[in-house]
Structures are given as C-alpha cells and as structure tokens.
Amino acid sequence: MVTKKGKKITGGKYTKQRKKKKNELAGQKRVIKMSPEEKRKSSRVMGGNKKTYLLKAKFVNVRDNGKTEKLEITKVAETPSNTFLARQNVITKGTIIETSKGKVRVTNRPTQEGSVNGVLVKEE
C-alpha cells in the first residue's frame, strides 16, 4: 500500500503541534569558494553565541610532521564527494587542493569554522 506524504493510512491529515523555532530553521546554504581575497561572515547561534564561517578562502593551514604552515591555495584539484564542486572551485571537507608544497586534503568543515585546515597528501 502506498501512502501519501503527510497523510495517515486512513486518509486523515497529520497536523503540526507547533511551528519551528528560530534555531530549528534551516539557514542559507554556505558555499566556500577559492578566491584571491578572504571573506568571513558571522551569525548568531543558539545561546547568543557567534559562529564565524568562511565564504571565500585564500589560505589553508597545513599540518605536516607536527608543524603547521599557512599556505596559499593555488587550485582545487578534486572533490571525492562531488566532481562538479571541484569544477566550481568549491571547498568542502575531504576536498583535495593544490598548494606550493603539494596536494593537501581538507580535514575540517569550513562552513562551521572560519578557516581551512588540511594535511599533506603523501604521493606514491
């Protein structure tokens, strides 16, 4: 038996108990792109706190053998989760980007933090 969305098996409607609260509402989709300049934005989150997130990224914090360096992003090489994102220079977690030291894999979620962090990819 196929049921319609929002309907009970008997045909009656499901009614919402309440509206969504402000913190439950979906925000605008954030897309972090590679750019010649950096751009950050902050928004108010639950508890009156502030969350800073990137909109445009120029640098990546690369961790290699216990040392951290700030390197410039030259190119978005590939995005394993979605091949179309790499063509649009969109940076997400798991994206492989190119720097002066070599290929770097992004380890954090730039939409949740105000920076891009990554580790060097060992090439074989």
Per-position pLDDT tens, the chain of length 124: 566 778 888 889 888 889 998 888 887 888 889 888 999 989 888 889 998 888 999 999 999 888 999 999 999 999 998 889 989 999 999 999 999 999 999 999 988 888 999 999 987 6
**How far is the C-alpha of 118 from the C-alpha of 94, rounded, in Å?**
9
Coil, helix or strand at residue 16: coil
Q: How far apart are the first and last CA of the chain?
A: 54
At residue 111, the pLDDT reads: 86
At residue 1, the pLDDT reads: 59
At residue 98, the pLDDT reads: 93
**45 occurs within a structural domain:** yes
**103 occurs within a structural domain:** yes
At residue 116, the pLDDT reads: 93
**How many CA atoms lie less than 13 Å away from 57 in the CB half-sphere?**
32
The CATH number for 103's domain is: 3.10.290.70
At residue 11, the pLDDT reads: 86
**6 occurs within a structural domain:** no
**7 occurs within a structural domain:** no
Q: How many domains does the chain have?
A: 1
